């Protein structure tokens, strides 16, 4: 089983588009997709306190309009939305991972709990916001994806170009295939 994690610097940088694009470009991988959302609220809008709260929902309809529905529409075999306290959700996530052929996970924070086969970080130097989790795990990125025309260099890390609305170029697909040994 291959686990691919796609993270990024902030909201609306293209993480979901990259995940959906990779799922569509590599249908033979039979992806199970996970969208991880962490915020101050857990399942059902309950405030996450010391006891924590989380919810794991399986998406059933590819036309529902959510990010997890976009993953189904792109060709994922199954798709989950995980919200709330990630540490508490990990046993359930691990159960689902054990049932999958391959997993695509949209998250930076999941890297605290597992070692993926490939970690891609989506960055846009024109955006000021930079999540702490993205900054913390940036040194673990196997590659970074940036919009065409963005100038960015990271020592020893390949920089791959996105051309919105095409976030996953043939170059990105080739990189992922090569890194997963699926030429």
Strand order of the β-sheet with 2-8 is 54-58, 78-84, 31-37, 102-106, 2-8, 118-122, 143-147, 159-162
Per-residue pLDDT in tens (0 to 9) along the chain, 183 residues: 999 999 999 999 999 999 999 999 999 999 999 999 986 444 444 444 334 588 999 988 767 678 999 999 999 999 999 999 999 999 999 999 999 999 999 999 999 999 999 999 999 988 999 999 999 999 999 999 999 888 777 778 999 999 989 999 999 999 999 999 976
Among 58, 70, 2, residue whose Cα is nearest residue 31: 2
Give the pLDDT confidence score for residue 38 in this predicted structure: 83
> Element (H or E) spanning 31, and its range?
strand 31-37
Domains and CATH numbers, the chain: 6-180 (3.40.50)
Distance CA 150, CA 16 (A): 19
Q: Let me know: does 159 contact 153? Beta carbons within 8 Å.
A: yes
Provide the pLDDT for residue 42: 44
> How much is the pLDDT for 47?
41
């Amino acid at each position: 089983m291959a686990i691919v994690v796609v993270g990024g610097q902030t909201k609306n940088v293209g993480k979901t588009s990259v995940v959906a694009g990779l799922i569509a470009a590599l249908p033979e991988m039979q992806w199970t997709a996970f969208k991880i959302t962490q915020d101050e609220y857990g399942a059902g809008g309950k405030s996450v306190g010391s006891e924590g709260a989380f919810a794991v929902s399986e998406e059933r309809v590819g036309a529902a309009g959510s990010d997890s529905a976009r993953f189904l529409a792109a060709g994922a075999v199954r798709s989950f939305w995980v919200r709330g306290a990630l540490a508490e959700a990990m046993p359930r996530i691990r159960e689902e991972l054990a049932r999958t052929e391959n997993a695509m996970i949209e998250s930076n924070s999941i890297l605290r709990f597992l070692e993926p086969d490939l970690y891609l970080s989506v960055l846009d130097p024109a955006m000021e916001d930079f999540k702490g989790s993205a900054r913390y795990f940036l040194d673990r990125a196997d590659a970074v994806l940036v919009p065409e025309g963005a100038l960015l260099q990271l020592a020893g890390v390949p920089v791959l170009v996105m051309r919105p609305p095409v976030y996953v170029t043939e170059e990105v697909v080739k990189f992922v295939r090569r890194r997963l040994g699926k030429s």
